[in-house]
A and B are shown apart, each in its own frame.
Chain A
Amino acid sequence: MLVLDVLKPSEPSIVDMAKKLGEMDGVDGVEISVLEIDRRVETVKITLEGSSLNFEKINAALDRYGATIHSIDKVASGKKLINPS
Chain B
Amino acid sequence: MHERMLNTLRKKYRSYERITGMSKIARRYFVMNAFDGALTMFGLIIGSYLARVSNPVLVFSVGMSTALAIGISGLWGAFLTEAAERQRELNKLERSMLRKLDSSYIGEASRAASYMVGGVNALSPFLAGLITLSPFLFAGKGIIEVDLAYRASLGICFGIFFGLGAFLGRISKEFWLISGVKMLLAGLTVALLTFALNSSGILGT
B-contacting residues of A (Cβ < 8 Å)?
7, 9, 11-13, 16, 38-41, 63-66, 68
B interface residues, how many (CB within 8 angstroms) = 15
A-contacting residues of B (Cβ < 8 Å)?
15, 18-19, 92-93, 96-99, 101, 103-107
The reply to whether B15 and A9 contact each other, CB–CB distance below 8 Å, is no
Partner pick for A41 among B15, B97, B103, CB 8 A cutoff: B97
Chain B residues with CB below 8 A from A63, complex form: 104
Chain B residues with CB below 8 A from A66, complex form: 93, 97, 99, 101, 104-107
Chain B residues with CB below 8 A from A38, complex form: 96
The reply to whether A12 and B96 contact each other, CB–CB distance below 8 Å, is no
How far apart are the CA atoms of A7 and B92 in the complex, in Å? 15
The reply to whether A64 and B105 contact each other, CB–CB distance below 8 Å, is yes
Given contacts A11-B18, A12-B106, could you give 5 more A-B pairs where the C-beta distance is less than 8 Å?
A12-B19, A12-B105, A64-B105, A65-B104, A65-B105
How far apart are the CA atoms of A64 and B106 in the complex, in Å? 8
The reply to whether B101 and A12 contact each other, CB–CB distance below 8 Å, is no
